A = this chain, B = another copy of it.
Amino acid sequence: MIDNFNGRILLQPNEIPKNWINILPDLPSSMTPLINPMDGKPIPPEMAFAIFPKECVMQEFSLEPFIPIPKDLREIFARTYRPSPLHRALGLERDLGIEGDRIKIFYKNESCSPTGSHKPNTAITQAYYAKKEGTEELVTETGAGQWGSALAYGCNLYRLKCIVYMVRASFIQKPGRTILMRAFNAEVHASPSNLTESGNKFLQKDPKHPGSLGIAISEALEHSMRSDKARYSLGSVVNFVLLHQTIIGQEAKIQLAKVGIKKPDIIIGCMGGGSNFGGLMIPFMKDKLNGTTPDMEFIGVEPRACPSVCKGEYRWDFGDSSMKGPIVKMYTLGHTFVPSPIHAGGLRYHGMAPIISILYKNKFLNTVMHHQTEVINAGIQFARAEGILPAPETAHAIQETINQALKAKENNEKKVILFNFSGHGFFDLLAYKEFMAGNLKEFELPTNEIQRNLDSEEMPIIDETKF
């Protein structure tokens, strides 16, 4: 019988969720505000309208448990790539020697999107609202280029201009992403660039500065502020981005139900800013927060080179490196931190989404960290088991999934493990090439460097009593 039980569970276009799931009203402690760096006070929505598309700002602050997905946006998703498949990892289970039904591994395959990752879920949405509100241009930053190419795609769909500041290390390492963005009509600049004050500041220190997401955010923010017809677009961290990604977890829930699974025992995702993990886990986390599924485990995976939650501190910090953008309460390594050039460029961010920070702080989720060599090794193991080459970011989630499956096998436990296959590695082949040649480097962030960043005079001091 050829059906869903065969390992690939598909949904119909009319099963695309009709709402995004907002976790804000359910959080164990209330959402922290975004702080204006000028006066140290919470930014009111009206002020944020000048930065982001208005509708996104409204969503950022909303306490409605469900926010409707506009019908014409759902139609665009249906016309392009959603719903995405859920796979049972039968090949990986076989290779791990866990055949049978005691341990089941599932992955939600977001690599089937037009740019190969989960990012278009919010890129298309932001472009949709921007267009509707009369904006003509979206400006953003990108690390490895997953986000930049998604926004280029989204803007192209609605015929908006798209400007991307790309972290120079990745700009050099991953020329393919730049070409893809340009094929979708975007303007791409290596960051730090000489086009902005923020960029120039870093270029003066080092003309070959490798850049960081923090710096690129500063440049994009500055650029977007120049015109009233331009807005800034963000691919992770903020609440509305995680909200847009909740399509992933909602679809996964329906798909698991179709094969008779009420809930997974462990949910895993890699974390850079937190959007793919957030998108998968929020619909399930809501059940845990409501007390329905107290035993469900959530594991966010970070690189050892940039362990924002694992080794960072929960405190107020700038989202960007030039201290121009909002101040956010989150786990952070300090906005002055410039991470090592690991291939998982999408995980090279000094902070973490406030939603994930609050959940971790309140012990509703765990985090772990892995070295890039073991991660890329897991990526190859997965490619050979499942036939899809993962992005280095995604391979972090795979490595942890393998660890959890083997642990359950050793303990003879019954487990359903679900992870987010956030993107394919077709643009990240250099990582695999270096690994196969034995040249892949390991980077681990020394604790004293973290402390130095966090002790920096540049770290903001916020008086919460003044809110």
Where the two chains meet, the residues of A that have a C-beta atom closer than 8 Å to any C-beta of B are: 2-4, 6-8, 10, 12-14, 16, 74-75, 78-80, 90, 112, 114, 116, 153, 156-157, 175-176, 179-180, 182-185, 380, 383-384, 387-389, 426-427, 429, 432-433, 436
The 9 closest A-B pairs by CB, nearest first: A179-B429, A7-B79, A2-B78, A426-B426, A176-B429, A114-B387, A183-B383, A2-B13, A179-B433
- List, in ascending order, chain B residues with CB within 8 A of A179's CB: 429, 432-433, 436
CB pair A10–B7 under 8 Å, yes or no, is no
**Nearest residue in B to A389 (C-beta to C-beta)?**
B183
Q: Which B residue sits closest to A424, measured CB to CB?
A: B426
Is the pair B78, A8 in contact by a Cβ cutoff of 8 Å? yes
> Given known contacts A180-B429, A433-B179, is B2 in contact with A6 (CB within 8 Å)?
no
- The complex places the Cα of A12 from the Cα of B4 at a distance, in Å, of 10
Chain B CB within 10 Å, residue with most, of A4, A78, A90, A185: A78
Can you show 25 pairs from A to B with CB atoms below 8 A apart?
A2-B16, A2-B75, A2-B78, A3-B14, A4-B13, A6-B13, A6-B79, A8-B78, A8-B80, A80-B387, A114-B388, A116-B426, A156-B384, A175-B429, A176-B176, A179-B436, A180-B389, A182-B436, A183-B384, A183-B389, A183-B432, A184-B383, A184-B384, A184-B387, A185-B384
**Bound-state Cα–Cα, A47 to B380, Å:** 39
Task: Name the residue in A90, A185, A426 with the highest tally of chain B Cβ atoms < 10 Å from its Cβ.
Answer: A426
A371 to B157, CA, bound (A): 28
Given contacts A6-B79, A183-B384, 17 further A-B pairs with CB under 8 A are A2-B74, A7-B79, A8-B78, A112-B112, A114-B387, A153-B387, A157-B387, A176-B426, A180-B426, A182-B432, A182-B436, A183-B380, A183-B383, A183-B432, A184-B383, A185-B384, A426-B426
Which of B10, B14, B389 lies in contact with A2, CB distance below 8 A?
B14
Within the complex, what minimum Cβ distance (angstroms) separates A438 from chain B?
A: 13
Q: In chain B, what residue has the closest Cβ to A120?
A: B387
Contact residue among B16, B153, B185, B387 (Cβ-Cβ distance under 8 Å from A156): B387
Report the minimal beta-carbon distance from A204 to chain B, rounded to whole angstroms. Answer: 29
Find A3's partner among B10, B13, B436 (CB 8 Å cutoff): B13
With both beta carbons as reference points, the residue of chain B lying nearest to A179 in the complex is identified as B429
Interface centre among A175, A380, A387 (most CB of B within 10 A): A387
Q: Could you tell me the distance between the alpha carbons of A12 and B85 in the complex, rounded to whole angstroms?
A: 12
Nearest-neighbour CB distance to chain B for A374, whole angstroms, equals 16
Q: Which residues of B contact A185 (CB under 8 A)?
A: 384
- Chain B residues near A183 (CB-CB < 8 A): 380, 383-384, 389, 432, 436
Give the chain B neighbours of A383 by CB distance below 8 A: 183-184
> Most chain-B CB neighbours within 10 Å: which of A80, A90, A156, A183?
A183
A190 to B61 CA separation, bound complex (whole angstroms): 57
A385 and chain B: residue at smallest CB distance: B156
Q: Residue on B with the closest CB to A387?
A: B114
Nearest B residue to A426 via CB reads B426
Chain B contacts for A112, CB-based, 8 A: 112
Cα A309 to Cα B90 in complex, Å, equals 45
Distance from A86 Cβ to chain B, minimum over Cβ atoms (Å): 12
From residue A57, how far is it (CB to closest CB) to chain B in Å?
A: 27
Which B residues touch A90, using CB under 8 A? 79
CA distance A7 to B14 in the complex (A): 14
Nearest chain-B residue to A176 (Cβ)?
B429
Q: What residues on B are CB-neighbors of A8 within 8 Å?
A: 13, 78-80
Q: How far is the CA of A182 from the CA of B384 in the complex (A)?
A: 10
Residues of chain B within 8 A (CB-CB) of A80 are 8, 387
Q: Which residues of B contact A74 (CB under 8 A)?
A: 2
For A154, the closest partner residue in chain B by CB is: B387
Alpha-carbon distance A155/B447, docked complex (angstroms): 46
Give A431's nearest chain B residue, CB to CB: B179
A156: chain B residues at CB < 8 Å are: 384, 387
